[in-house]
Amino acid sequence: MTYGSRDWQKWVLEEEEALPLLKHAYDVGINTLDIADLYSNGCSEEIIGKALQNYDIPHENVIILTKCQYGISRFGELQLSVFAITVNDGQMMPAWKFQLLQNLAKKNEWHKFIRMQNYYNLLYREEKLQEGKTNKAIITAVEEVAKARGVSMAVVAIA
């Protein structure tokens, strides 16, 4: 996300700055990279591919996480470690939908789905929006019990 094209964001490192940084990161033991087309309009994916190729970093020594919205052509001959399906409906995927994917994977003898990555950043925390009503009801119930017993809400929460 921090490297690619300044056409996306002014703070982004261009390719010539990013390549040595990626090499150094690998040399000190960082081998997992989470990227997406969204990050720098796909340029970050291209730079990852170039770094692996230019510095002869063995693909089997690197774990690359990406979203399968645009395919893997930007990586060259690279096989991805984890391939994620992007959910574009603006909401968290309900557990029952995730289970349908697990059933589909089992039926077709695919590798099971192992994660779901929601939007979670400083400005937007998707799961917090979904939890709001449930949390409010729980907090209200804990508060009522605490008042009735003459104890703090923390005491009720850990009881």
Is 39 catalytic? The answer is: yes
Pairing mode, strands 63-67 and 3-4 = unpaired
Name the catalytic one among 39, 55, 119, 124: 39
Number of Cβ within 10 Å of residue 10's Cβ equals 6
- Sheet containing strand 32-34, strands side by side: 32-34, 63-67, 82-84
Query: Which helix (H) or strand (E) segment is 14 a member of?
Result: strand 13-14
Name the residues annotated as catalytic.
39
